[in-house]
Chain A
Amino acid sequence: MRKKIVAAMLASMMVVSLAACGGGDDGSGSTGGDTKKEETTGTDEKKDDAADDAVAATDDENTLTVWCWDPNFNIYAINKAAEIYAKDHEGFNVKVTEIQSDDIETKLTTAMSAGDLSTLPDIFLMQDNSFQKYATNYPDIFVDLTDKGIDYTQFSEAKVAYSTLDGKNYGVPFDNGAAISCYRTDMLEQAGYTVDDFTDITWDDFMEKAKVVKEKTGQPLLTQQAGSTDIIMMMIQSVGASCFTEDGKANIVDNEAVKKAVEIYSQMVKDGTLLEVTDWDQYVASINNGTVAGVINGCWIMATVTAQEDQSGKWAVTNMPKMEGVGEASNYSNNGGSSWAVTSNCKKPDVAVDFLKSTFGGSTELYDDLIAKGALATWAPAGDSDVYNQEVPFFSNDKVYAKIVDFATKTPSNVTGPFYYDARDAIGVALSQITQQGIDIGTALQEAQDTVDFTMGG
């Protein structure tokens, strides 16, 4: 009998190791005890290695450590910024670790839960949409950047709002996620349209034209990862609405903007004018392979569109359709974008702040260089630079950068709050219930509302 008890305890041990890691580290699942354990250790080891590689803040006066994630984009940007800063500051350099944004977030959560911030770097980059969540839950991570000499009036208000909590600035705005629509002009032409027919239009108009395009060319006009809410969220922000009320309560089921956005989306799926794909790779493929005639997303999607060089001259950029009848309809919105933050583990916050101030918050030279990478400044003076008025051959010599900067300044601001992603996920679930399982919009949104209320009630 004792043997049995011991056996039972051993059998359940693995679950506990899961519970022990603060409720589910990557306790890899499986169907066979022991190998599974090995696997877990395997991945854990890998993770630990990565953690060792992820350089924490140093004592070296001239070196700042940075975490960010895209070698072609933000890593390039921070290195370039360091180069520029080093011109006036002999010997200055940055040590960058490439870590995916959600891994950075996991690391922050883990460090805070353990009460040990010594693993954090001097500076890290954070998605704008996550900023409120971390600033609210873990304010101790951040160095307050208010009144540290950074002129926030030179950034667009909506952008600064992401990294501001209770009147305190916790971040230095970096890239811009202004929503753009990219269309295949050759396909529009077949349907008898030009890109002007899709500029400054309403969604109703857009849906009708999309049907014509579908009929004439056989191609859907839009693509989206199933269950992803990018388009919905852009629509909601375009009328200045949000999934939350001003006082932070979830506002989904009685929210006309959400309802209207979901209606438009599900109708387009029904019409066959919006293609739903299963993952990001297929999303990219649907754009590059000409499976669809257009895409709406943050302006960083241009990097994906332009990757297909043989399609040069076949694409055009314009603003997104506007959603009429709810709130103040505009053709402008935002998806993505990120801001720099300084951690409280930084031993020399003055250097870090001065570095960010004089580069991302004060160097036209930096932004002029970054434009080639598709990094559009949210720092207003950069938009005046000549570089932004250059013609881009890929888009038939259109001045797309200037266009996007213009879009960005017109983007309405909305409430995000710490539960932004919870709301976003819940709406994503509702969306797949509606489009894939045929549940009616009211029921699905009510469920989303309940889910978010439940999470917030914890």
Chain B
Amino acid sequence: MSGPNKKGMSLEKKHNVTGWVFLIPATALICWMSFYPMIKAFIMSMQTGIGINLTFGGAANYLRILKDPTFKQCLFNTFFYLIIQVPVMLVLALALASMLNNKHLRFKGLFRTAIFLPCATSLVSYAMIFRSMFANDGFINTVLRGFGMNPIMWFANAWTARAVIIIALIWRWTGYNMVFYLSGLQNIEYSVYEAAKIDGASPVQSFFKITVPLLKPTILLTTIMSTNGTLQLFDESLNLTNGGPGKSTMTLSHYIYNTSFVQSPNFGYAAAMSIIVLIMVAILAVIQMKVGDER
């Protein structure tokens, strides 16, 4: 119907259509693999019952969450990890990144690899290695004894057990975040630093006045990702401490898992808790973007 010179569509429209065609496969996949299960999970969260004997219960599961002391305990644990671990890790990552960004540093590649390497280990295996390191007669206590100090029963006390999880998390994820900062730092002209130096700025000043403001988008990104990741913390809780002692190191995801697969299966309740985690992540992400992004 359209001849070579007759336009069925304007150029702009054509571009638009092409764009949409390229988007469709990804969109369809996301809808199918993410949004559809999301909706299903939401429907499931409205059902109550054990095993497959599910009946519609409306908001019963959500009301149940309010009365669940274990949920509160796990929520506390998760936020404790979040509040302590994320800032410590990000500050450390930023410090390491700016040190490694120094042009005069030798063996830079070696250091970078060494710091990033923990990220290449499997979550389960590193958790198990940490568990054996912090065992009663493990490596850490042997070292402590070597220094003439009393060994610590790391996993017997709630606070030391939480500390072990945080240490493990920092070890595992600092390098990962550092890489983001490094790539962010590559985009900052070196001449800016030189100019600052000529103007008499100390390294500390140039860090706070140049590096931090210019890295803000990256910092925001890593904060959101880390928050998101910590709220879903699972492997460490399961493999490192198994939630113990008692339930004092158990995370929300671990509790959700237990509710579905370890205890008598209550999928409706587990789904409801997952939805709550989703809402929390979304709220935190929005807050962080509001605070961090001035555009």
Docked pose: A271 CA to B156 CA in angstroms: 17
Is there an interface contact between A28 and B123, defined as CB atoms closer than 8 Å? yes
Is there an interface contact between B267 and A22, defined as CB atoms closer than 8 Å? yes
Give residues 418-457 of A contacting B (CB, 8 Å): 418-419, 421-422, 425, 429-430, 432-433, 436-437, 447, 450-451, 454-456
Docked pose: A35 CA to B174 CA in angstroms: 12
Is A307 in contact with chain B by the CB < 8 A criterion?
Answer: no
Is A100 in contact with chain B by the CB < 8 A criterion?
Answer: no
Contact of B173 among A24, A32, A451, A456 (CB under 8 A): A32
Docked pose: A447 CA to B73 CA in angstroms: 13
Query: B252 to nearest A CB, angstroms?
Result: 9
Q: Which residues of B contact A27 (CB under 8 A)?
A: 232, 234, 253
Is there an interface contact between A16 and B70, defined as CB atoms closer than 8 Å? no
Report the nearest A residue to B85, measured CB to CB.
A31
Query: A110 to nearest B CB, angstroms?
Result: 8
**Which candidate, A7-15, A199-207, A239-247, A296-304, is the interface stretch facing chain B?**
A7-15
Contact of A278 among B37, B42, B155, B173 (CB under 8 A): B155
**Which candidate, A36-44, A80-88, A316-324, is the interface stretch facing chain B?**
A36-44
Secondary structure at the A interface, as helix, strand, loop or mixed, is helix
Is there an interface contact between A24 and B225, defined as CB atoms closer than 8 Å? no
With A19-B278, A29-B236 already in contact, the answer to whether A137 and B176 are too (CB < 8 A) is no
Q: Which residues of A contact B260 (CB under 8 A)?
A: 22-24, 109
Is there an interface contact between A106 and B245, defined as CB atoms closer than 8 Å? no
Is there an interface contact between A24 and B253, defined as CB atoms closer than 8 Å? yes
With A4-B289, A16-B278 already in contact, the answer to whether A432 and B222 are too (CB < 8 A) is no
Q: Point out which of B169, B245, B266, B282 has the most chain A C-beta atoms below 10 A from its C-beta.
A: B245
Report the nearest B residue to A289, measured CB to CB.
B137
With A4-B289, A23-B271 already in contact, the answer to whether A226 and B156 are too (CB < 8 A) is yes
Is there an interface contact between A429 and B225, defined as CB atoms closer than 8 Å? no
With A137-B51, A138-B51 already in contact, the answer to whether A226 and B172 are too (CB < 8 A) is no
Is there an interface contact between B37 and A17, defined as CB atoms closer than 8 Å? yes
Contact of B274 among A19, A137, A227 (CB under 8 A): A19
Is there an interface contact between A29 and B232, defined as CB atoms closer than 8 Å? yes
Is there an interface contact between A421 and B228, defined as CB atoms closer than 8 Å? no
Give residues 52-77 of B contacting A (CB, 8 Å): 52-53, 64, 67-70
Is there an interface contact between A42 and B261, defined as CB atoms closer than 8 Å? no
User: Could you mark each residue 274-286 of chain A with 1 if its beta carbon is under 8 Å from any beta carbon of chain B, else 0?
Assistant: 0011110110000
Docked pose: A266 CA to B275 CA in angstroms: 40
Is there an interface contact between B275 and A19, defined as CB atoms closer than 8 Å? yes
User: Could you mark each residue 256-272 of chain B with 1 if its beta carbon is under 8 Å from any beta carbon of chain A, else 0?
Assistant: 11011111111111110
Give residues 25-48 of B contacting A (CB, 8 Å): 34, 37-38, 40-42, 44-45, 48
Docked pose: A49 CA to B172 CA in angstroms: 26
Q: Point out which of B68, B263, B266 has the most chain A C-beta atoms below 10 A from its C-beta.
A: B263
With A15-B232, A16-B278, A24-B234 already in contact, the answer to whether A425 and B263 are too (CB < 8 A) is yes
Is there an interface contact between A112 and B271, defined as CB atoms closer than 8 Å? no
Contact of B285 among A11, A31, A42 (CB under 8 A): A11
Report the nearest A residue to B54, measured CB to CB.
A113
Is A386 in contact with chain B by the CB < 8 A criterion?
Answer: no
Q: Point out which of B69, B173, B253 has the most chain A C-beta atoms below 10 A from its C-beta.
A: B253
Docked pose: A456 CA to B49 CA in angstroms: 10
Is B142 in contact with chain A by the CB < 8 A criterion?
Answer: no
With A18-B256, A133-B264 already in contact, the answer to whether A8 and B34 are too (CB < 8 A) is no
Is B136 in contact with chain A by the CB < 8 A criterion?
Answer: yes
Is there an interface contact between A11 and B264, defined as CB atoms closer than 8 Å? no
Docked pose: A22 CA to B67 CA in angstroms: 22
Q: Which residues of B contact A42 (CB under 8 A)?
A: 122
Query: A120 to nearest B CB, angstroms?
Result: 15
Q: Which residues of A contact B115 (CB under 8 A)?
A: none
Is B226 in contact with chain A by the CB < 8 A criterion?
Answer: yes
**Count of A interface residues, CB-CB < 8 Å:** 70
Is there an interface contact between B135 and A24, defined as CB atoms closer than 8 Å? no
Report the nearest A residue to B132, measured CB to CB.
A281
Count A/B pairs, Cβ under 8 Å: 239
Secondary structure at the B interface, as helix, strand, loop or mixed, is helix
Is there an interface contact between B169 and A31, defined as CB atoms closer than 8 Å? yes
Docked pose: A295 CA to B113 CA in angstroms: 47
Q: Which residues of B contact A109 (CB under 8 A)?
A: 260-261, 265
Docked pose: A137 CA to B68 CA in angstroms: 23
Docked pose: A320 CA to B188 CA in angstroms: 72
Is there an interface contact between A23 and B264, defined as CB atoms closer than 8 Å? no
Q: Which residues of A contact B156 (CB under 8 A)?
A: 226, 276, 278, 436
Q: Which residues of B contact A18 (CB under 8 A)?
A: 232, 253, 256, 274, 277
Is B185 in contact with chain A by the CB < 8 A criterion?
Answer: no
Is there an interface contact between A458 and B257, defined as CB atoms closer than 8 Å? no
Is B224 in contact with chain A by the CB < 8 A criterion?
Answer: yes
Q: Which residues of B contact A458 (CB under 8 A)?
A: 48-50, 64, 266, 268-269
Query: B54 to nearest A CB, angstroms?
Result: 10
With A32-B225, A39-B123 already in contact, the answer to whether A11 and B173 are too (CB < 8 A) is no
Is there an interface contact between B89 and A31, defined as CB atoms closer than 8 Å? yes
Is A153 in contact with chain B by the CB < 8 A criterion?
Answer: no
Is there an interface contact between B173 and A429, defined as CB atoms closer than 8 Å? no
With A16-B37, A112-B51, A278-B155 already in contact, the answer to whether A32 and B281 are too (CB < 8 A) is no
Is there an interface contact between B229 and A454, defined as CB atoms closer than 8 Å? no
Is there an interface contact between A455 and B263, defined as CB atoms closer than 8 Å? yes
Is there an interface contact between B226 and A32, defined as CB atoms closer than 8 Å? yes
Q: Which residues of A contact B264 (CB under 8 A)?
A: 133, 137, 418-419, 421-422, 455-456
Contact of A138 among B38, B52, B246 (CB under 8 A): B52
> 27 A–B contact pairs at CB < 8 A?
A8-B285, A9-B282, A12-B282, A15-B277, A15-B281, A19-B38, A23-B256, A23-B260, A23-B271, A24-B234, A25-B257, A26-B234, A27-B232, A28-B123, A31-B172, A31-B230, A31-B233, A32-B119, A36-B232, A106-B261, A109-B261, A112-B51, A113-B267, A136-B51, A281-B132, A433-B245, A451-B69
Q: Sorted from nearest, which 3 A-B pairs have the closest CB atoms?
A: A23-B270, A20-B37, A137-B51
Q: Which residues of A contact B (CB under 8 A)?
A: 4, 7-9, 11-36, 39, 42-43, 102, 105-106, 109, 112-113, 115, 133, 136-138, 226-227, 276-279, 281-282, 418-419, 421-422, 425, 429-430, 432-433, 436-437, 447, 450-451, 454-456, 458
Q: Which residues of B contact A (CB under 8 A)?
A: 34, 37-38, 40-42, 44-45, 48-53, 64, 67-70, 85-86, 89, 119, 122-124, 131-132, 135-137, 153, 155-158, 169, 172-173, 176-177, 222, 224-226, 228-237, 244-247, 251, 253, 256-257, 259-271, 273-275, 277-278, 281-282, 285-286, 289, 293
Given A23-B259, A23-B269, A458-B266; 4 other pairs, CB 8 A cutoff = A31-B225, A31-B230, A137-B264, A278-B156
